[in-house]
Amino acid sequence: MTVELDFWVVIKEWPLLLTGVAWTLGLTFVSACVGTLSGLGLAWVRLQNWQMPSRIIHIYVELIRNTPFIVQLFFIFFGLPQLGFRLSAETSSVLAMVINLSAYSTEIIRSGVEATAPGQIQAGRSLGFSEFQVFKHVILPPALFRVWPALVAQIIIVMLGSAVCGQISTEELSYSANLIQSRNFRAFEAFIVAAAIYLSLAIVMRWCLNRLGKNLIFKGLSQNG
Amino acid sequence: MNINITRLIKGVIPFVLYSFLGIISQFVTSNVYAQNALDTIQKTKTIKIAIPTDYPPYGFVGVDLQPQGLDVEMAQLIGQKLGAKVELIPVSSPNRVPYLQTKKVDLVISTLGKNAEREKVIDFTHAYAPYYQAVFGPKSLSIKTFNDLAGKTISATRGSLEDTELTKLAPAAAQIKRFEDSSSTIAAYVAGQVQLVATGASVATAMIQKNPQLGAEFKLLIKDSPCFIGVAKGEDALRVKVNEVIVAAHKAGDLERLSQKWLARTTGDLPE
């Protein structure tokens, strides 16, 4: 069987692909920023030994980590309107990604904090720091440094997971690939191109985030922090 | 226990190679057979037919969880006339054509409309049932021409005929929101995520009946497009055979019966 490949019919739709890349990056950027920050906040609350809030966050984290992303997305887009909350496809996508990422980042950050040596915390307290100051200056920097690679990996996973947002008509990269494929029936080429773009996005993003971590956020920190 | 690694590997390599060869030869032979679908069907006494399961009344899942509808009965009719057992393969609007291209199915009986783009990649038999696509929306929204769609959001199933035709007919300012399958397209409209919906008439009728609170009505005709059966490109023997079945079924009144049963309307003129 001979297979004729025609990548040109896919490449010539580059404006569509570019829009897709822009949306994928935009969705990922917003959800990475908000999701990591809220994960930070939730991890802090969980570490305070406050019974009720801690339990609620635990339920939230388990609920999100044990249900498929696409179901969460469909619930927000198709389900919430019945309760009177109507969000656009794009807002639903961002919201779903933020909710998803912050559940995972809560657990990732918490694991980093819990690995902090008790002596370090006691040293902070003995210097007269308040609990919040201890968290901010003593616990958090080395904890974040420790879990940064895991956080970066999770952000990449969320970026790749954004591919299902096309299902609710958000015009991200896989939506573009699907649209091109349904126009010219070049499924193989369209998805090869999409896969190559996702791959390069993931590699570039990982490199940038690792650099960002090393040179800006944790400048001067070492593994022993 | 002492295992001799080198011997183990030496033993495994031929096994792996052999299985590979086996897999490859399977591919090759299945492709040789696939060149003549009709022969394979007559030899194996089975025919694989792609049908919709999200498109009432053409194809949907009944309360007994079995697919039913006009397309499903048409598939059974074809199978019966060809003397083959029908294997129903559920497909969605965007993957109907790829299923045929990759020969995962012998026929696509799935409210398939004929257009120039599709004729480049697959072949069509005669039409077997009437069908038309239209834009539907609430009574409160005044839509008289396609230009009135400017600034409105319309849901459509990606890759469907209504998607491609509406993209041509609607002004650039109209926002077409494309969904993966017919149920999502309808769900988006029912949930109020879009103002209008472009879909097949019968699907819309079912939606309106189930959701009277929406007050949806017919707005614009996109295309009158009867359903054809899709055949893989070059499978002329199968196409000719299916055409014979369709012509005979039309004469015998079978097509009229199906149309009356599921669509409550006559087949009208069915193009060849």
CATH of the domain at B110: 3.40.190.10
Instruction: Name which of A81, A167, A187 is nearest B192 (Cβ-Cβ).
Output: A81
Within-domain flag for B235: yes
pLDDT at A172: 95
- Mean pLDDT, chain B, rounded, equals 86
Average pLDDT over residues B153-182: 93
Instruction: Decide if pLDDT at B32 tops 50.
Output: no
ipTM over 0.85: no
Within-domain flag for B24: no
Residue B186 burial by CB count (10 A; 0-12/13-18/19+): exposed, middle or buried? buried
Among B92, B158, B182, the strongest candidate for a mutation testing the A interface, having the largest count of A CBs within 10 A, is: B158
| Percentage of the residues of chain A whose pLDDT score is greater than 90 | 65
Tell me the two tokens of residue A35: 């999701």
pLDDT in tens, A133-142: 888 888 888 8
pLDDT at B36: 83
pLDDT at A185: 81
Partner-chain contact B193 A81, CB within 8 Å: yes
Peptide bond into B98 cis (omega under 30): no
Domain count, chain B: 2
Partner-chain contact B191 A169, CB within 8 Å: no
Partner-chain contact B177 A82, CB within 8 Å: no
Average pLDDT over residues B41-57: 91
Q: What is the 3-state secondary structure (H, E, C) of chain B?
A: CCCCHHHHHHHHHHHHHHHHHHHHHHHHHHHHHHCCHHHHHHHHCEEEEEEECEECCCEEECCCCCEECHHHHHHHHHHHHHCCEEEEEEECHHHHHHHHHCCCCCEEEEEECCCHHHHHHEEEEEEEECCEEEEEEECCCCCCCHHHHCCCEEEEECCCHHHHHHHHHCCCCCEEEEECCHHHHHHHHHCCCCCEEEEEHHHHHHHHHHCHHHCEEEEEEEEECCEEEEEECCCHHHHHHHHHHHHHHHHCCHHHHHHHHHHCCCCCCCCC
Instruction: Decide if pLDDT at A223 tops 50.
Output: no
Within-domain flag for B13: no
B44 and B126 inside one domain: yes
> Contacts of residue A88 in chain B, CB cutoff 8 Å?
193
Partner-chain contact A78 B101, CB within 8 Å: no
Within-domain flag for B230: yes
Instruction: Decide if pLDDT at B33 tops 80.
Output: no
Confirm or reject contact between B71 and chain A (CB < 8 A): no
- HSE at residue A19, side-chain half, CA atoms within 13 A, is 11
Question: In this predicted model, which residue has the larger pLDDT, A90 or B35?
Answer: A90
Within-domain flag for B198: yes
The confidence band for B209, taking pLDDT boundaries of 50, 70 and 90, is confident
Within-domain flag for B86: yes
Tell me the two tokens of residue B205: 């009728």
B56 and B177 inside one domain: no
- Looking at residue A164, the DSSP 8-state letter turns out to be G
The confidence band for B165, taking pLDDT boundaries of 50, 70 and 90, is very high
Average pLDDT over residues B116-128: 92
Instruction: Name which of B101, B120, B159 is nearest A182 (Cβ-Cβ).
Output: B159
The confidence band for B262, taking pLDDT boundaries of 50, 70 and 90, is confident
Domains defined for chain A, CATH in brackets: 26-217 (1.10.3720.10)
B86 and B143 inside one domain: no
pLDDT in tens, B224-249: 889 999 999 989 999 999 999 999 99
Average pLDDT over residues A29-44: 95
Average pLDDT over residues B115-143: 91
Instruction: Decide if pLDDT at B34 tops 50.
Output: no
pLDDT in tens, B67-109: 999 999 999 999 999 999 999 999 988 889 999 998 899 999 9
pLDDT at A131: 84
Cβ contacts of A43 within 8 Å, gap of 6 or more:
A105, A106, A107, A109, A110, A113
> Contacts of residue B178 in chain A, CB cutoff 8 Å?
169, 175, 179
The confidence band for B156, taking pLDDT boundaries of 50, 70 and 90, is very high
B-chain residue closest to A75, CA distance:
B191
B46 and B127 inside one domain: yes
> Contacts of residue B191 in chain A, CB cutoff 8 Å?
77-78, 81-82, 86
B213 and B235 inside one domain: no
Within-domain flag for B25: no
Domain encompassing residue B46: 40-131+226-263
B181 and B236 inside one domain: no
B118 and B239 inside one domain: yes
Cβ contacts of B244 within 8 Å, gap of 6 or more:
none
Within-domain flag for B120: yes
Confirm or reject contact between B32 and chain A (CB < 8 A): no
Confirm or reject contact between B178 and chain A (CB < 8 A): yes
C-alpha dist (Å) from residue A217 to A70, A142, A150, B191: 33, 11, 15, 44
Average pLDDT over residues A127-154: 89
A-chain residue closest to B180, CA distance:
A167
B94 and B168 inside one domain: no
CA–CA dist A179, A171 (Å, integer): 10
> Contacts of residue B159 in chain A, CB cutoff 8 Å?
178, 181-183
B81 and B188 inside one domain: no
Confirm or reject contact between B92 and chain A (CB < 8 A): no
Instruction: Decide if pLDDT at A14 tops 90.
Output: yes
Using an 8 Å CB-CB cutoff, list residues of chain A that contact chain B: 1, 77-78, 81-82, 86, 88-89, 166-169, 175, 178-179, 181-185, 187
B112 and B148 inside one domain: no
B233 and B123 inside one domain: yes
Average pLDDT over residues A80-105: 94
CA–CA dist B197, B218 (Å, integer): 10
Average pLDDT over residues B35-49: 89
Interface A:B, Cβ pairs < 8 A: 56
B81 and B120 inside one domain: yes
Partner-chain contact A81 B158, CB within 8 Å: no
